[in-house]
Amino acid sequence: MAAQSVDEKLATHPVDEKLPALKMATSGLQHVAAMYAGVVAPPLIVGAAVGLSGTDLTFLTGACLFTAGLATFLQTLGIWKIGARLPFVNGVTFAGVAPMTAVVASTHDKSDALPIIFGAVIVAGLLGFLAAPIFCKAIRFFPPVVTGSVITLIGVSLLPVAFGWAQGPNPKADDYGSTTYLTLAGITLLIVLLLRRFTTGFVKQIAVLLGLVAGTLIAIPFGVTDFSPVGEADIVGFPTPFHFGAPQFQLAAILSLCVVMVVSMTESTADMLALGEIVERPADEKTIAAGLRADTLGSAISPLFNGFMCSAFAQNIGLVAMTRIRSRYVVATGGGFLVLMGLCPMAASLIAVVPRPVLGGAGVVLFGSVAASGIQTLVRAGLDKDNNVLIVAVSLAVGIIPITAPEFYHSFPETAKIVLDSGISTGCVTAVLLNLIFNHIGKGREAQDVTHPMEAGEEIAAAH
């Protein structure tokens, strides 16, 4: 029995298992394929808002791939007390897109927009790194009713971007929103849906990527596919530090990205808890703190190489659950591929070839899936309680103000509008505050089962 006990202790946990080279490489590529579209979408959105040229857009995309690889190394391999050492893929978080585009919109000289964003990400990352040991203890203030509301708002906030892409590259052009562009977007969406419905395994996982390729090929006869970025890109390159200028530190932008960092840390904590259960190595407080340090340090380093805020990618957790390949070294191999792609501008430039309407069609699935993930979280939040229904209702209402009424905050100072024009930031703050008021501060009345958020409470019913 003693010998058996020793053998069990010496046995390698599947998370720490090193697979044969070929399986390691193919499985790592599968993780890259599953998250590639998610990594390149944020730089495309922000780069387009800034008005970057095709060459600079390619550079920004490659930089985000490179920094995603570095962040994945930190998370999977770890150093000191940094890294959850679980099969996590890290990349640019969607949560930062809306606040970053708000920063771009409020910056008069667009050449200053990226330096301001990079400065805000650096500060948010460093503050998040210092707060990681405390945050993992305060996670009780971010229950599913809060995180679900925020994730839903992330998807809803990004959907208008996909709709804009579907109408064409230039809003001022006469053919903007033409039937040609909308047809290409619809065809791409249909291809992605068919692949998701009628394929399995690896092909199903990369349905969005295959949809982008197919949509681009179909767009060639329409004359809307531009291959010039590939011809102008170098085969080998390095993301030069501070390519777009030295970071600038603007208080409003920093506050906005700090809110995003809180959202990102909340999502990563939830992802670590979920992945820990899947790989049968439950994430304790120490693991969560180490994982958050990797997220935040990766985010702080990322702007040095012209990248954005990083966090764990939830879609790769689903891939681990489906394949049952739990080795963190497989994901680290995927991180290596991301670094290599970031060092090959020609590979990064391929995404710049994809026409905007094609991106729009795929974006409907991509961004809609984020909103759907938030709804799935809300389902587990206990919406049969009137307190939670009101938290969700008001948080979503506040969060969609910048989408449905873009001029709502027009009389506020420009610095305040950077935060207010981000529905994700305002929605998150609202959800946290309402959750504290309704579910933490004081005893209050017990939440009642309701069928409608405006149903009369217990005291009112008794009075009648």
Q: Give a three-class secondary structure readout of the chain.
A: CHHHHHHHHHCCCHHHCCCCHHHHHHHHHHHHHHHHHHHHHHHHHHHHHHCCCHHHHHHHHHHHHHHHHHHHHHHHCCECCECCCCCCCEEECHHHHHHHHHHHHHCCCHHHHHHHHHHHHHHHHHHHHHHHHHHCCCHHHCCHHHHHHHHHHHHHHHHHHHHHHHCCCCCCCCCCCCHHHHHHHHHHHHHHHHHHHHCCHHHHHCHHHHHHHHHHHHHHHHCCCCCHHHHHCCCCCCCCCCCCCCCCCCHHHHHHHHHHHHHHHHHHHHHHHHHHHHCCCCCCHHHHHHHHHHHHHHHHHHHHHCCCCEEECHHHHHHHHHHCCCCHHHHHHHHHHHHHHHCCHHHHHHHHHCCHHHHHHHHHHHHHHHHHHHHHHHHCCCCCEHHHHHHHHHHHHHHCHHHHCCCCCCCCCHHHHHHHCCHHHHHHHHHHHHHHHHHCCCCCCCCCECCCCCCCCHHHHHHC
pTM above 0.75, yes or no: no
What pLDDT sits at residue 418?
65
User: What does the alpha-carbon distance between residue 25 and residue 452 come to, in Å, rounded to a whole number?
Assistant: 52
User: What does the alpha-carbon distance between residue 34 and residue 203 come to, in Å, rounded to a whole number?
Assistant: 10
179: pLDDT confidence band, cut at 50, 70 and 90?
very high
What mean pLDDT is predicted for residues 403-424? Answer: 79
Q: Map tokens 């590529």 to a residue.
A: 29
Instruction: Write the CA distances from 163 to 193, 351, 373, integer angstroms.
Output: 17, 18, 20
Q: Is the pLDDT of residue 408 over 60?
A: yes
Q: Write out pLDDT tens, residues 3-49.
A: 444 444 456 888 888 888 887 887 887 787 667 767 887 888 899 88
**CB 353, CB 233: distance < 8 Å:** no
What pLDDT sits at residue 398?
93
Q: Which residue has the higher pLDDT, 442 or 457?
A: 442
Q: Write out pLDDT tens, residues 253-288.
A: 898 888 888 878 877 887 787 777 778 787 778 888
Q: Is the pLDDT of residue 450 over 50?
A: no
User: What does the alpha-carbon distance between residue 293 and residue 295 come to, in Å, rounded to a whole number?
Assistant: 5
What mean pLDDT is predicted for residues 429-436? Answer: 89
* Among 35, 309, 272, residue whose Cα is nearest residue 147: 272
